[in-house]
Amino acid sequence: MLFTGAGSGATGSAQTAKYVIFRDDDVAPNADFAELQAVNQVHIDKNVPVTLGIIPHPWPAPSGNQLIEVNQTFLEYMQSLTSNHLFQFAQHGYTHLDVGPSPEGPSEFYGRPYAAQYDAIKQGRDDITQAFGVTPTSFLPPFDKSDNNTLKAAKALGFTEYSTAFADFMQSGGNLDGMRLDTISIEVTNASFNEAPSLTSTQTLQSLESATNQWLNDPNSVNTFVVLYHPADFEGANYTVSASKLNTLANYIDYLQGTGRVQFTTLDRSVTTTGNGAVASSSSVGTTAVGATDAQNDSAVFSILGAILVVLLGSILTIRLRRNKNRPNR
């Protein structure tokens, strides 16, 4: 009964499987650490996985592995997450510095020679592996801006998943140069969290729900909805962690779970859960399938119309406060 509303004629749940992926960008030694911990705790409490987009080398110096050498608290915290299957470690560029040519930028990679891109991505990948003992398979270009050499380098380095904006390659979902593409569907910014004077937190949650509802009920939409945010988006007044913003995320997760129509996964599909709406440990096997694969997405045909609709939806309903939404961390 839950699966009859999309007009797809599907008779089984497999055909109507819809996935939500949370993507937390700008996870780095210089990230807002309290916010990072707090938002991760929401995911733990809800038993909902998240893909962490890690910036390996956010400062010009030192030249070594900044994930190891700069911030011991961050290092140990991240190492502690590696045993929790709710957290996927992905690579979000190398420096996250804008070296893209105008007007195509900002970008860390766009327009740079293949060898330079390859070397930077490889160094970042190796830094993550050395620091955390996890080799990332998902690549997330900073500023959601890259080019064909970025794809070629990521593929050559063994990445199997790629996540960026629709506009980067004018493609939403499907196969991108041999990698699985998951396009950003919506961005949850600070503005969405009630910093704009005209918004209330209720309206913000409603706008998230509205966008999600349209995606759920569009038979042509891609089957994965990628929700992007940053640790800094959970900052409140006077550099404190905002309880109300955390609450908005928690309520949104509750809403998603309440639809009964989505599952939560990561870009690498290493874990899939239905959430649980309550405190859970990583051992809550009743609602968690570790290593579950999503064969449906591999074979799905993505219509251009559906793809464009999803992107337009995301663009319209994303309220942007910051001009540079993907700026490096402060």
67: its two tokens: 């994930």
Please, what is the minimum distance in Å from the beta carbon of residue 25 to Zn ion? Answer: 4
Does 95 bind Zn ion (CB under 5 A)? Our answer is no
Task: Tell me whether residue 275 or residue 328 sits nearer to Zn ion (CB atom).
Answer: 328
Reported in sequence order, the residue ranges of 156-241 that DSSP labels E, i.e. its strands, are: 161-162, 175-176, 179-181, 184-187, 224-229
Please, what is the minimum distance in Å from the beta carbon of residue 51 to Zn ion? Answer: 13
Please, what is the minimum distance in Å from the beta carbon of residue 228 to Zn ion? Answer: 9
Those residues whose C-beta lies under 8 Å from the C-beta of residue 56, and which sit 6 or more positions away, are 28, 65, 66, 67, 91, 94, 123, 124, 127, 128
Question: CB under 5 A: which stretch of 110-118, 138-146, 172-180, 232-240 binds Zn ion?
Answer: 138-146
Which DSSP category does 300 fall into? P
User: 199, exposed or middle or buried, with CB in 10 Å at 0-12, 13-18, 19+?
Assistant: middle
Please, what is the minimum distance in Å from the beta carbon of residue 279 to Zn ion? Answer: 30
- d(CA 58, CA 272) in angstroms, rounded, equals 31
Please, what is the minimum distance in Å from the beta carbon of residue 193 to Zn ion? Answer: 17
Task: Tell me whether residue 165 or residue 310 sits nearer to Zn ion (CB atom).
Answer: 165
Site residue total, Zn ion (CB under 5 A): 4
Residue type, 83: S
Tell me which residues in 12-71 interact with Zn ion (CB under 5 A). Answer: 25-26
Question: CB under 5 A: which stretch of 13-21, 40-48, 139-147, 283-291 binds Zn ion?
Answer: 139-147
- DSSP reduced 3-state for 127: helix
Residue type, 204: T
Residues 158, 108, 117, 141: what is their CA dihedral angle, to the nearest 10 degrees?
10
Those residues whose C-beta lies under 8 Å from the C-beta of residue 76, and which sit 6 or more positions away, are none
Tell me which residues in 182-201 interact with Zn ion (CB under 5 A). Answer: none
Please, what is the minimum distance in Å from the beta carbon of residue 230 to Zn ion? Answer: 7
Does 326 bind Zn ion (CB under 5 A)? Our answer is yes
Task: Tell me whether residue 46 or residue 145 sits nearer to Zn ion (CB atom).
Answer: 145
Does 168 bind Zn ion (CB under 5 A)? Our answer is no
Q: Which residues bind Zn ion (CB under 5 A)?
A: 25-26, 142, 326
